Amino acid sequence: MKVRDIILLPDKRLRQVSKPVAKVDAAARKLVAEMFTAMYAAPGIGLAAIQLGEPKRIITLDLAKKEQPSDPRVIINPELVWESDELGTYEEGCLSIPEYYEEVERPKAVTVKYIDIDGKPQEVEATGLLATALQHEIDHLNGILFIDHISKLKRDRVIKKFTKAAKQAAKDAKRSKD
């Protein structure tokens, strides 16, 4: 399977709100397989469909450490139904904002309802890294990036850096065609 490109900041599609998946069919399963391929190739621990340019409410996760067997999870149409008042801080990164990491404060625990790859309703009570990853990826489905949770100064700086890099890449691509 060809590895699909992950779209990068400042691509405006990252700000799109994703649409619910009406039915877990062959097309949804194909997209999930493409998401896992792109996520593992990056490498990353989570990916939202919008990061491949697909505005569908699908998340793939695998939080297993390198020395552990993989633990792929598919979360379709996630709904955050509860979050703790207690907050925790994790250093977050994003495959759409490569090599940029920042401390982000989020609820320490969450409950998420979703449907799995078989179309069955599920609910997960999550803490720690799983809670953070779920919130990070659900944010993607709502057009929110982790940099929206940091100071405006830092956010503006990273957006400027990635916008400049995208303009340079476009110039370089145009030059190589000429």
Confidence band for 169, pLDDT divided at 50, 70 and 90: confident
Q: What is the token pair recorded at 119?
A: 């179309």
Parent domain of 73: 12-177
- In the predicted structure, residue 41 carries a pLDDT above the cut 80: yes
Tens-digit pLDDT profile for residues 149-165: 999 999 999 999 999 99
**Residue 141 located in a structural domain:** yes
Is residue 133 within 8 A of residue 93, CB to CB? The reply is no
**Residue 29, helix vs strand vs coil:** helix
Verify whether residue 86 is a known catalytic residue: no
Instruction: List the CATH number of the domain containing 40.
Output: 3.90.45.10
Buried/exposed 125-149: b ≥16 CB within 10 Å, e otherwise: ebeeebbbbbbbbbbbbebbbbbeb
Query: Of how many residues is the chain composed?
Result: 178
Q: What is the pLDDT of residue 66?
A: 84
Confidence band for 173, pLDDT divided at 50, 70 and 90: confident
**Residue 101 located in a structural domain:** yes
Confidence band for 175, pLDDT divided at 50, 70 and 90: confident
**Residue 55 located in a structural domain:** yes
Rounded Cα gap, residues 143 and 139, in angstroms = 6
Handedness of CA 62, 66, 68, 70 (dihedral sign): positive
Q: What is the token pair recorded at 142?
A: 């709502």
Rounded Cα gap, residues 71 and 67, in angstroms = 12
**Residue 35 located in a structural domain:** yes
**Residue 7 located in a structural domain:** no
Q: Could you give the number of structural domains in the chain?
A: 1
